[in-house]
Amino acid sequence: MNFRDLKRWTPWLLFLLCVIQFAVPAYMIARREHVLTAGRAFKFKTAPVDPYDAYRGRYVALRFEAATVKGISLPPGVGQGARVYALLGEDEKGFARVTGMSRTKPSGVPYIRAVMRYPGGDTTTLELPFERFYMEESKAWRAENAYREHSRRGAADAYALVRVLGSQAVIEELYIEGKPVAEFIRGK
C-alpha cells in the first residue's frame, strides 16, 4: 500500500473507529436496560457491610445473605475460585435464595453466574455478580452511611431489588425500611 492509498482510506478508518467507540458503550447500556425492563425481579436481603472503603468511590457497598449458602451440595470438582451457575428461588417471605448450583448452564430456571469464594462442608460462600449500588454522587455518601448505620443497629429490613434475565443481573433499587434508599435518606 502506497501513501496515496493510505491517504484515501484514512477518513474511512477514522469513521469506523468512531462508530466502534460509540457502539460498544451503547451495547452495554442497551443490555443493562433490557435486563431492567424484561428481567425477573428478585429481592436480595442484605447483610451488614464492612466499614466504608475510601478507595472504592461513590457507591453503596452491599453484601447479601443469599451469598452464604447452606445445605446445598456442590457440583463435583468445584473448588475455590470456580465459576458456577447459582439457581435462584424465593423463601417464604419472598426473598431470593440459592436453591442449587451447577457447572453447566441451566434452562427453565432463573440463575446467575457466581464465583465460589469459600466452598466447603455445609456452608458455601459465593461471590455474586453485583455488590455495588451506584447512585448520584452527591447522594451516594449519605446513602452509604445510612445503610451502614441501619445495618449496625441489627435491623434486617434492607434489601436490593435485582432484575435477572439469563445470566445477567442488575440492581434496580436498594430499599431500607421498605423505602427506596433515596427516599429514606431524604427523610433523615
Span 101-123, pLDDT tens digits: 888 999 889 999 999 887 777 78
C-alpha–C-alpha distance, residues 89 and 87, integer Å: 7
Do 34 and 95 sit in the same domain of this protein?
A: no
- Whether residue 110 sits in one domain with residue 63: yes
From CA 99, how far away is CA 69, in angstroms rounded?
8
Whether residue 180 sits in one domain with residue 167:
yes
Q: Total structural domains in the chain?
A: 2
Q: For residues 112 and 81, state if they share a domain.
A: yes
Q: Which residues of the chain have pLDDT under 70?
A: 1-3, 47-59, 152-156, 187-188
Using CA atoms, how far residue 7 sits from 3, 12, 15, 107, 181, in Å, is 6, 10, 14, 52, 55
Residue span of the structural domain in which 6 resides: 1-38
How do residues 16-45 score in pLDDT, each as one tens digit?
A: 999 999 999 899 889 888 888 888 888 877
The amino acid that residue 137 corresponds to is E
| Separation of alpha carbons 27 and 144, rounded Å | 29
